[in-house]
A and B are shown apart, each in its own frame.
Chain A
Amino acid sequence: MAHSFRSRSLLGLAVVVSTVGLGYACTARQGGPSKLTTSEAAQRVYVAPGAKDEFYAFLSGGFSGQVSVYGLPSGRRFKTIPVFSQYPENGYGYTEETKAMLNTSYGFVPWDDSHHTALSQTNGEDDGRWLFINGNNTPRIARIDLTRMETEEILEIPNAGGNHGSPFITENSEYVVASTRFSVPVPNRDVPINEFKKYFKGQISFITADKPGKMAVAFQIAMPGFNYDLARAGKGKSAPIEYMHNSIDAFTRTATSEKLTSVLTVDPKDCPGAVYFMPTPKSPHGADVDPTGEYIVAGGKLASVIPVHSFSKMLKAIEAKAFEGELDGIPVIKYEATLAGEVKNPGLGPLHTEFDGKGYAYTSMFISSEIVKWKLGTWEVVDRVPTYYSVGHLMIPGGNTRKPNAKYVVAMNKITKDRYLPTGPELTQSAQLYDNTGEKMKLLLDFPVEGEPHYANAIEASKLMEKQVKFYKLADNKNPMAVRAEKETGVSREGKKVHVRMTAIRSHFAPDNIEGVMVGDTVLFHVTNLEQDWDVPHGFAIMGNQNGELLIMPGETRTLKWVPPRAGVYPMYCTDFCSALHQEMQGYVRVSAPGSNVALTGTLSKGPSAAPKAEAAPAAPAAPAANAKKKQ
């Protein structure tokens, strides 16, 4: 089995090699598109200082595991939303409140590969509530709240391997669909890889998406493994499995993990009429549905045409039983019976298609490195523009919805050699913005991106701007370690654990001098940011911490774990330049030898400025050192 796969991929490679040469010839023959002058293009993308972009664009971070937020048309990056990877910059995955977000049935997984974004929809239009994104490596789906631009929930997908074909959202966000890239043994267990046919399954998961905090695998359809032989189905419908559901509570702002142990599996053989196969040429990758719902455009990476299937013809074919056979009990509809048309000579390596809602489709061509615009119905190519280079997905704002806003087309490219200042062996990936207001697409902007964006979504800024949360209300903070005023702060011991309940406000932490910690203790700094104003986060870090830092939003409580390795006095300070008195936000923790009799205290250095305290500091280290000596 494995052998036959290898020979097939070799064949595939041969085809790619032979077509690359053709690709160059093809592009050259087509000639350049009508271009804008540099100053015309610059005017279209220039967003004056202080002015706002027209669109938010959410680009997947690829192997960064995150999502990046950009403005269009400027191409400026505003934010990285950490999703599947630890993010030292804001402590995501490091703080006690957020660690649980990265729990999986395999344990804590600090990284993933995020591919496809999906905005929530109402009636087939982007509604700006949430953004979903997949974790490809350790199969997961995350939900990002778009009022806070923060990952709120992550659901692991059982019985999957390589959650690539996901998340694809239904018209009212009822489900996101996640199909596995690798078929894996179901349940996953120790079996010979060459007994693929016998044990491997390709699960398609339907995930409840419209209930915040309650994402769940509603059911899975057990599809045959990706071999095309007729094979016997694997057994075990209620297989023993484990997967994790992690979510952040809105009031404690703390993530918890829940282990789930069952999933409803639907075997298509038991539900005749539930699933059909529709053959399409050749190494198919993308499958995109036009805004009317009638056309399904397939992207056969190695196909010489773009086949377009008709939804209504497909239904008729099913009714007329126009099948050419069965695969694992699932009927295979005849190719011709569903075919609406083929786009001839589109270019090389068609991957993904987006739509403008005006009767045109735009397909990315990976091998010939271009975007091709063609007309639905007549299947004629009307325009093509080069990309720099090797475009994967492309994106039109709302281009996968019923109502695209096709002012712009964005290409996301894998290769950028010679496009920017070179940066050693590792080069950035990029995106290109095209004007799409006329008949011809015109290149406006070429900007580097974070990680490798696979898919992306963009939404009109007006749909999100006013909804942005500015800070968290202190009164709503239900973190058990939160304090609402300086007088509630304090230091307490619980065996070998020391809890420091601290507050941060512009100019100081309280307490900011802590003594009585001993080597062997685990210190938990629970820091509440008392500010109630926009854009006043405070940071918190302590010397030598083998963990990360905290970045605490106003009204929020975050907890940093620290295990001091040796006696001494450890400076701690605010890491986010919060205000004119940022540099004054500092303090010390004195760590004594185990068994020392230094009382556990947390005090506030009197006076607004920490400078006198800093002058007194040289005396401090002497004490723990003396204690340590005594012990020896």
Chain B
Amino acid sequence: MTRTARWLTLVAALLMASAYVLPLWRISLIAPQYPEGLGMKIRIDNIVGVKENDLNSINGLNHYIGMKRIEPDMIPELKIMPVLLGVLIAAGLGTAALGKRLPLAIWGGTLVAAGVGGLYDYWRWGYDYGHDLADDAIIKIPGMSYQPPLLGPKQLLNFTATSWPDSGGILLVLAGLLVAVALWKSYRKPAHVAS
């Protein structure tokens, strides 16, 4: 590992810690009756409204289509993710301390796996919410499901739902890019020179 790569690794690990305070993801909803918009922020350990009562309002609206209430307490990932992130950060710091490129490669691979896994999990929850609708829903449209988009905008009845990484998520992506650069710098030269 080059000196630069070690620094990059350290910075990446520290950047990842920002996810403890910054929201990872944001789903925004706009409809004619909601010009001010509604929205949810997904944090590492919670889901909160963008405005104080947004989550409550979204749940209220979702009951029309028979969607389950979004109850952060019922989502185990929100308890697992803070621990998982802690482990990943610790591993990152360890990698930087070791300064060897193999651990860096393993760590980088783990990060990619965690990112893909996280996105898949998010998609799975969205699929579940969007498809597992109550039989006695007030509004039932045959063939209609309400899965929120993974990325970008999507029209769901009168709402335009938009899903993007929030500040914490963007920093995580940035951390991943730093790791990629670190890997590239480390593997550009033969092992005996690099490490």
Q: Are A532 and B57 in contact, with the CB atoms below 8 A?
A: yes
Contact with A along B36-75 (1 / 0, CB 8 A): 1000000000000000010011001001100000000000
Return chain A residues, CB-CB under 8 Å to B60.
Answer: 505-506, 531, 533
| Residues of the A chain whose Cβ atoms lie less than 8 Å from the Cβ of B139 | 580
Task: State whether B138 touches A507 (Cβ < 8 A).
Answer: yes
Report B-chain residues with C-beta under 8 Å of the C-beta of A531. Answer: 60
Q: Are B136 and A608 in contact (CB under 8 A)?
A: yes
Contact of A533 with B53 in the complex, beta carbons under 8 Å: yes
Q: Given A608-B136, A608-B138, A609-B138, are A507 and B63 neighbors across the interface (CB < 8 Å)?
A: yes
If over half of B's interface residues share one DSSP class (helix, strand or loop), that class is named, otherwise mixed; here it is mixed
Residue of A nearest to B55 (CB): A532
A471, closest chain B residue (CB): B53
What residues of chain A lie closer than 8 Å to B64, measured between beta carbons?
506-507, 580-581
Quick check: is A607 within 8 A (CB to CB) of the other chain? yes
Complex Cα spacing A534 to B33, Å: 11
- Give A555's nearest chain B residue, CB to CB: B53
CB contacts under 8 Å to B, within A524-552, are 531-534
How far does the Cβ of B59 sit from chain A's closest Cβ, in whole Å? 10
Q: Output the nearest chain B residue to A606 by Cβ-Cβ distance.
A: B136
CA distance A547 to B137 in the complex (A): 35
In angstroms, Cα B51 to Cα A534, docked, is 12
Majority DSSP secondary structure for residues of A touching B: loop
Which A residues are CB-close (under 8 A) to B136? 606-608
Most buried by B among A531, A532, A584, A609: A532
How far does the alpha carbon of A471 sit from the alpha carbon of B53 in the complex, in Å? 10
Contact, CB under 8 Å: A608 / B57: no
In the complex, the answer to whether A532 meets B56 with C-beta atoms within 8 Å is: yes
Residue numbers in B under 8 Å from A607 (CB-CB): 136
Contacting residues, chain A, for B138 (C-beta < 8 A): 507, 581, 584, 608-609
The tally of residues in B whose CB lies under 8 Å from a CB in A reads 11
User: Which of the listed residues B53, B57, B136 has the most CB atoms from chain A within 10 Å of its own CB?
Assistant: B53
A residues less than 8 Å from B57 (CB atoms): 532-533
CA of A534 to CA of B57, assembled, Å: 10
Say how far B152's CB is from chain A's closest CB, in angstroms.
26
Q: Give complex CA distance A608, B134 in Å.
A: 11
Q: How far is the CA of A322 from the CA of B161 in the complex (A)?
A: 79
The answer to whether B56 touches A608, judged by C-beta atoms less than 8 angstroms apart, is no
**Residues of B contacting A507 in the complex (Cβ-Cβ under 8 angstroms):** 63-64, 138
With a cutoff of 8 Å between Cβ atoms, the chain A residues found around residue B53 in the complex are 471, 532-533
What's the least CB distance linking A8 to chain B, in Å? 61
Taking the closest CB of chain B, its distance from the CB of A87, in whole angstroms, is 26
In the bound complex, how far is the Cα of B18 from the Cα of A212, in angstroms?
Answer: 44
Residues of A within 8 A of B56 (CB): 532-533
Q: Which residues of chain A from 575 to 601 have any CB-CB distance to chain B below 8 Å in the complex?
A: 580-581, 584
Give the shortest distance, in Å, between A509 (CB) and chain B (any CB): 15
How distant is the Cα of A545 from the Cα of B57 in the complex, in angstroms?
Answer: 33
Q: How far is the CB of A22 from chain B (nearest CB, A)?
A: 56
Interface centre among B60, B136, B137 (most CB of A within 10 A): B60
- How far is A613 from B60 in the complex, measured between Cα atoms in Å? 23
| CB-based nearest B residue for A507 | B138
User: A100 CB to closest chain B CB, in angstroms?
Assistant: 30
Nearest B residue to A50 by beta-carbon distance? B35
A180–B64 Cα distance when bound, in Å, is 57
Interface string of B93-115 (1 = CB under 8 A from A): 00000000000000000000000
Minimum Cβ distance to chain A for residue B57 (Å): 4
B76 to A: closest C-beta gap in Å:
24
The smallest beta-carbon distance between A618 and chain B, in angstroms, is 24
A146 CB to nearest B CB, Å: 21
Task: Give chain A nearest CB distance to B148 CB in angstroms.
Answer: 20
Pick the most buried of B56, B136, B138: most chain A CB atoms within 10 A of its CB. B138
Bound-state CA distance A533–B61 (Å) is 11
Interface, chain A (partner B; CB < 8 A) = 471, 505-507, 531-534, 580-581, 584, 606-609
- Having A507-B63, A533-B57, one finds 8 other A-B pairs with CB under 8 Å, namely A471-B53, A531-B60, A532-B56, A532-B57, A533-B53, A533-B56, A581-B64, A608-B136
27 A–B contact pairs at CB < 8 A?
A471-B53, A505-B60, A506-B60, A506-B64, A507-B63, A507-B64, A507-B138, A531-B60, A532-B53, A532-B56, A532-B57, A533-B53, A533-B56, A533-B57, A533-B60, A534-B36, A580-B64, A580-B139, A581-B64, A581-B138, A584-B138, A606-B136, A607-B136, A608-B136, A608-B137, A608-B138, A609-B138
The 5 closest A-B pairs by CB, nearest first: A608-B138, A532-B53, A533-B57, A532-B56, A607-B136
